[in-house]
Amino acid sequence: MWYHPLCALVLDFIIGDPPKIPHPVIGMGHLIHSGEKLLYPQKPEHKMLTITRGAVLAGSMVIFIFVLSFMLLNWLRQLQPLLADLVEIWFIATTIASKGLAQAGRDIYILLKAGKILEARQKVGWIVGRDTDKLDEGEISRAAIETIAENTVDGVIAPLFYAFLGGAPLALTYRVINTMDSMLGYKNERYLYFGRAAARLDDAANLIPARLTGFFLLVVMLLSPRLNFSRALHSWKKEACLHPSPNSGIPEAVVAGGLGIRLGGLNYYGGMPHFRDHLGPGLLPIAPEHIQDTIKIMYRTSLLAAVVFTAIFYLIK
């Protein structure tokens, strides 16, 4: 139904992911891990064979999740249509992470304002992949802002977009693609070849949602007196392409431009330095308050996208 994704977003706004209810993404993670154990080469082999193994895993997971969820919902519709509607709304809600993102950001903000740097470093380490043990207040804030901005695509707009296109089966399929990327899509010795298919699949799946997110972010900037639309647009046009991801640079650049801050810079992964090009004008030093601002931007963008998607698909259907 055209209204299922909107209901799912509202449900996520209210309750998020209750810890005592089994989450489909956890099951996806177990399946991906099992598939990796089965398909990962036990001894060195030609890189194309390793890439093929990873592609088999990625393709199998996509097909399995889509077919399983489609068949389950189809069976429920024959059994009890109302139950099928409720299950589909819940399935879609599990692919959305707006409340979880906001709560993580607020927790970090509260710790920083209380001067609890050690706890804030630990907390931000739960949501980023970089080393956090030596980060100061500004760098902790930057890490949180970048994660919330980037995951406005992965955690909200993309699953909404696919839910409107194909209901819960397509939203869950997107979520398994994104989960595979988070587990396998690393450019390290283990996953450089095996995880390549997962990473490329995630790039392709986010290609349209990332650009839609950029558009919705700009609308939010335009309607918010405290945010700067022209700087946000400039950062998207001139700086988003500097990001190593073809998609993540868009929300990060737009948020940085709108807030007047500078994202990117030097990060450490396993003790090794990696410099990421700067995004945004850097007119203001990054502060914990910018985490709160980014959370508000994420919520407004999510609601705007849901309303626009609902209106379009209602008119079409």
Domain ranges of the chain: 4-316
Task: Label the pairing between strands 263-269 and 272-279.
Answer: antiparallel
CB 119 within 8 A of CB 111: yes
The predicted structure's pLDDT at residue 276: 93
Closest to 174 (Cα-Cα) out of 150, 202, 194:
202
Q: In the numeric block, which tokens belong to residue 54?
A: 């990873």
The predicted structure's pLDDT at residue 313: 84
Angle at the Cα of 187 (from 181 to 190), degrees rounded to 5?
A: 90
Amino acid at 248: S
Residue 274 host element (H or E): strand 272-279
The predicted structure's pLDDT at residue 23: 85
Q: What is the pLDDT along the chain (317 residues), one digit of tens a residue?
A: 878 999 999 999 999 888 777 789 999 999 999 999 999 998 889 999 999 999 999 999 999 999 999 999 999 999 999 999 999 999 999 999 999 999 999 999 999 999 999 999 999 999 998 999 999 999 999 999 999 999 999 999 999 999 999 999 999 999 999 999 999 998 888 999 999 999 999 999 999 999 999 999 999 999 999 999 999 999 999 999 999 999 999 999 999 999 999 999 999 988 889 999 999 999 999 999 999 999 999 999 999 999 999 999 888 76
Residue 173 CA, distance from chain mean position: 14
Residue 300 CA, distance from chain mean position: 16
55 to each of 50, 162, 201, 315, how far by Cα in Å? 9, 22, 9, 38
The predicted structure's pLDDT at residue 314: 81
CB 211 within 8 A of CB 241: no
Closest to 245 (Cα-Cα) out of 219, 270, 273, 209:
209
Q: How many CB atoms lie within 10 A of CB 90?
A: 16
Position of tokens 């001067």? 115
169: Cβ contacts below 8 Å, ≥ 6 apart: 65, 66, 69, 70, 73
Q: How many CB atoms lie within 10 A of CB 43?
A: 4
